[in-house]
A = this chain, B = another copy of it.
């Protein structure tokens, strides 16, 4: 890409979008930065689009000038997804913030890509419905679809992969494609919806998303339980799932994280692995399920089981989980938090975590753990001093070894954060040569000039 082509794309877009094209350094800088630890890389300009047609205009202009387009939502990604690694135009989609259609009887809705998760759920509450995918951050639905996000509810409700019925997206040619229908299932051709979900803007810009919704459960129960050993906690989860107990959330905090929460929140949890559970259903079913899990926990060395279906008490029980991120950061104020994201078959979770804890010890780093343990997905928050090059290298090394460990037992380098440019090198380790070649073939066929969020997801493209 030449400077001339950028200048001329920016000129054309400026004429069309007026003050909705911004080249101000602070705004550009903000659009090149996400919430991860990777270096921010500012785009050449930011366009604030407000409709699918406007997105198509921007993409067409960028295509003509062979200038990269990088979609931007809430900026809550973690692997440098929004960084303009090859320059270009950041396409801010927060102006696409309309909830287009809600079909209460069909439990689905169609929203624009810039609608945020909490905005959607505020609206859905009125109908007695909710959208369960909860990655923590108040991300946009478009961003969540693009990174195949999930979070604490995935053990019951699945991930964005399972909950996106259809998308509208702008292809590199500027053409608008609508994939899928509102039917719950279909065998009519290639699953383009699933191809775009998780493609991180490298194939198309998602502008609308049709989502599955769920009725708000009549009763929500919360529970916590400490465990003598990590294996006891994980075995409880394995047995719970084998029995088909439809738990809505099962989260794990390791000793280090529980210690951090005790310090941060002034609570006095036993410094031992802690499971937090949530049950959705009726008074009867929730009680039944909680009773089953309590028995399993007890047989696996669980102690201090507490549970409640009252909102306040449930919130109190789950406070440790809600505080975890800030409690972890407070262990070393002023440092950066480097979130890891491996996901492994659950039978390998205990060994993977124990080996990782030993590795953390050896590395001298502080890295408490929180996990969506029902899925085998866990995060370390590796705290490191940005100005300490050695510590930074140790953090990177720890993550590298963690990923190798996860891959060796049949896992993945990222359960829910995605690749961005931060995990690009791990694609070569996780995927075989034929698989990577197939991804490159698809990328090159759909985006022959490589203008769609280049330098992300597919190594060498």
Contacts and interface: CB of A to CB of B under 8 A. Distances in A.
Interface of A: 103-108, 128, 147-150, 154, 158-159, 161-162, 171, 175-179, 181-192, 194-195, 197-199, 203, 214-215, 217-218, 238, 241-244, 246, 280-282, 284-285, 288-289, 292, 341, 343-347, 375-377, 406-407, 410-419, 423, 426-427, 430-432, 434-435, 437-439, 441-446, 457-458
A190 B439 contact: yes
B189 A107 contact: no
Closest 8 interchain pairs by CB? A445-B445, A194-B194, A105-B347, A186-B412, A182-B410, A177-B434, A183-B343, A187-B418
20 contacts: A107-B241, A150-B185, A178-B432, A183-B343, A183-B345, A183-B375, A183-B377, A184-B343, A184-B345, A184-B376, A185-B412, A187-B416, A187-B419, A188-B426, A190-B198, A190-B443, A190-B458, A195-B442, A215-B243, A217-B244
A435 B177 contact: yes
A416 B191 contact: no
Residue with the greatest number of chain B CB neighbours at <10 A, chosen from A185, A406, A426: A185
Contacts of A185: 148, 150, 154, 159, 161, 343, 375, 377, 412, 415-416
A191 B187 contact: no
Contact of A411 (B181, B197, B241, B345): B181
Contact of A198 (B187, B214, B344, B376): B187
Contact of A190 (B104, B195, B376, B434): B195
